[in-house]
Amino acid sequence: MTSLHGAAERLSRMIQVATVSAEIAERGLAPFEEFVELLEELYPNVHRRLDRERITELGLLFHWRGADDTLDPVVLMAHYDVVPVDATDAWTHPPFDGRVADGFVYGRGALDDKGPLLVILEAVESLLTEGFVPARDVYLSFGGNEETFGDAARTIAETFSARGITPWLVLDEGGAVVDAPLPFVRGEAAMVGVAEKGPMTLQLSARGDGGHASAPPSLTAITRVARAVARLTPDTFTASTPAGVSRMLERFVPRTRGPARLLYRILASRPGLTARLFARMGGEPAAMVRTTVAATMLEGGIAANVLPSRASATVNLRIALGESVASTVARVRRRIADRSVQVDVIDGEDPSPESSTENEQFAMIADAVRISHPGARTVPYVMMAATDARHFHRFAPAVYRFAPLAMSAELRATIHGVDERVAVDELERGTRFHRALLERLPSRHRA
């Protein structure tokens, strides 16, 4: 069951089932039911020995009973839906063929998130085959609509809360094992997300007099919205360094040399300086230290020569730690400074709190990394994207985000992109990580 070739073939079959959650309205739920049936075929021990519960149409919750059910359980998470594929993109191999070639498994979902889901199941199936019983209960939580911000994982988390179950550890997708993660940093790092920014979507809209475009007023609905979008520049929000970023920089110090070591030591101890420097760098460094804002859709008008009576823009924000939905909306309104532009929250969630790096849970993750990827140093960071794990942080004290697979910068760029693929060797290493984690669960209550 745990052979490299077998794992790659099983992932291939998973990829061939096109579980595109954004296309449920057109495709229906048939692909998702097919995927659930495929899991039953591929992992018979998991389905024989673990209790499976369907929560919503797309949520799967497996319960593996441990040796001591009085201990708080562990929750391992993943999602089995994928994002759509642009038919005009030129893939080396068709995105839903699951082709195994050149040491990789190609296809949509190979990295996000069927590969990480597979290594969880590979580990559990192999341990069950050996007669292993975990020290405490283990739950496998798999959602089928993470990519569309669906309710499967949220309902699963609410089920835990309603049943009075507080997980000792929650581990979902997120960071990965990366090489040279920041400038001047040598070697591999296992980037473990200790928190994540809050996702939010706003709609900016304005109304104006419609009519013929030959005699426009000075401010139309479209120009009001365009001006509002233009005012939401990258420096709309103040930069501030989360504790997780400072801890990340501190752990990178031993992996640097010469002046770079001094620089990282200074940045780790001076969060204000880090915030200013990262904000000036732009891109991912800036996104680590402040709320980001990006207009993603514009709408208005019915004809080339007609002034629209209404125009709107959709704006995506990722709320930085220390801020909230309410404070972010207030800041947007102040920055736009136009009462004629209506600001509506389409959806939004506050950022998560930061989980500790000084507890047994984080140490266990680091221990498992040393077994699966011996050369990698385990480092905390703050995730800029949203994961299903955010639904647990309201009541679970130790929530982390890490997929135990090595991903180069080139491979990470294929997530949601072209030629998404995972190295076949990494499937074995990812399985080794989860086996190590499960085999080392503590068998007693600890502070």
Segments making up each domain of the chain, as ranges? 4-193+353-439, 198-348
This prediction's pTM = 0.92
Closest CA to 428 of 105, 192, 169: 105
| pLDDT in the model for residue 94 | 97
Q: How many CA atoms lie within 13 A of 442 on its CB side?
A: 16
Closest CA to 257 of 188, 187, 192, 191: 187
| pLDDT in the model for residue 447 | 45
Q: Which CATH number describes the domain made up of 4-193+353-439?
A: 3.40.630.10
| pLDDT in the model for residue 3 | 55
| pLDDT in the model for residue 215 | 84
| pLDDT in the model for residue 125 | 98
CA distance readout (Å), 60 to 272, 364, 394? 43, 26, 21
**Whether the bond into 86 is cis, omega within 30 of 0:** no
| pLDDT in the model for residue 84 | 97
| pLDDT in the model for residue 182 | 87
- Cα–Cα distance for residue pair 196/291, rounded to 1 Å: 12
pLDDT beneath 50, residues of the chain: 1-2, 447
Q: Which CATH number describes the domain made up of 198-348?
A: 3.30.70.360
C-alpha angle with apex 184: 182 to 188, nearest 5 degrees? 60
- Cα–Cα distance for residue pair 407/110, rounded to 1 Å: 12
| pLDDT in the model for residue 1 | 44
| pLDDT in the model for residue 209 | 86
- Cα–Cα distance for residue pair 24/191, rounded to 1 Å: 33
- Cα–Cα distance for residue pair 271/397, rounded to 1 Å: 24
- Cα–Cα distance for residue pair 409/182, rounded to 1 Å: 11
